[in-house]
Structure 1
Amino acid sequence: MQEKIEMKVSLMVYPSQDWSEEDRKLVEMAKEIMFKAHAPYSDFLVGASLLLENGEKLMANNQENVSFPVGVCAERAVLSYAMANYPKSRPVKIVISAKKRFGERFATVTPCGLCRQTINEYEIKFQAPIQVMMLAPDGNLLVAEGIEQLLPFRFNDLNS
């Protein structure tokens, strides 16, 4: 007999008036670093800021390469830096902002599949969800309370 497996996923919408001071700082960091992205081929700028459990706030941006597959997303760049330099400090939340270089508005961007799986890796390592916050064109934050909300059937365990 066939069985259906369903998972419910959801994002919360946080208007700017509901942001904490910490969230405001992380959004500003993501926007600031976004404008320094190396994106000469797509002109699509992405910035990411990351809060670690130890209070450190880090940021990175996308880095394109003429050989497209070897570029690095902002999310993976900031997580890689964090884990290389603060390997024992759990990532608590990541904020993502994006826009076309000459565009007027921000773009709604969720992490790509590689970035989602990378976030999942650190949720596994630290046994805790990482809040994923994405800046929307209307100025709100779209918030996932863990990568399961963006990657419900993720690749989790090689031993199961």
Structure 2
Amino acid sequence: MKEVKIESTLYLYDTLDELPKDVVLLMNKAIEARERAYAPYSNFYVGAALLLDNNKIITGNNQENASYPSGLCAERTAIFYAGSKYPNAKVIRMAISAGSKNNQTTSPIPPCGSCRQAIAEYEIKQETPIEIYFMGEVGKIAKSNSLANLLPLVFDKKVL
């Protein structure tokens, strides 16, 4: 037997003010999208904003449904819309903000597993990494240079 160690590298910013101005703009779009989310069941609101290589910004937010599996997360709402509207554009960067109506979220909240898989599909398709910034409502912001840092053992079309 051989042990294999897998490591991920994230960068942590203390406040939005530490981010580059273009990332602050994108994160503010994610925060605005979060405020428009439809989450009457979980009271957990998520917004995502994508910067495409054509300089378009696409936003999405979570959309819940009484039949829980029928809802959709903010990240997938945004990335699927981008893929539908601009099929040849590459996603350069993604910003995510998540908050709860039950208690204030103060730590960075990364994409769920389903969203990681969907983002991975686009990163693999476009053959370039997607920078991902994520935060709660307030507090620190985490940055990953690629989805591969968040999902190192990706399941993709090569195994099918």
Question: Could you state the TM-score of these two structures normalised by the residue count of structure 2?
Answer: 0.92
SS in 1 for 2:96: strand
- Give the CA RMSD over aligned residues: 1.7
Partner AA of 1:4 in structure 2: E
**Residue number in structure 2 paired with 1:5:** 4
SS in 2 for 1:154: coil
Whether 2:152 is the aligned partner of 1:149: answer no
State the identity as a percent.
Answer: 35
Question: What runs of 5+ residues in structure 1 fail to find an aligned partner?
Answer: none
The structural deviation recorded for 1:141 is: 1.6
Partner AA of 1:116 in structure 2: R
Is the 2:99–2:136 Cα contact (8 Å) retained in structure 1?
no
Question: Could you state the TM-score of these two structures normalised by the residue count of structure 1?
Answer: 0.92
Q: Structure 1's 105 and 158: CA in aligned 2 closer, same or farther, altered over 3 A? A: closer
Count of matched residue pairs: 159
Partner AA of 1:57 in structure 2: I
In the alignment, the residues of structure 1 paired with residue 77 and residue 149 of structure 2 have an alpha-carbon distance, to the nearest angstrom, of 21
Partner AA of 2:12 in structure 1: V
SS in 1 for 2:28: helix
Moved over 2 A (4+): 14-18, 101-108, 136-140, 156-160
In the alignment, the residues of structure 1 paired with residue 102 and residue 35 of structure 2 have an alpha-carbon distance, to the nearest angstrom, of 11
**Residue number in structure 1 paired with 2:21:** 21
The structural deviation recorded for 1:109 is: 1.4
**1:26-45 equivalences in 2 (<5 Å):** 26-45=26-45
The farther-off stretch of 73-82 and 146-155 is 146-155
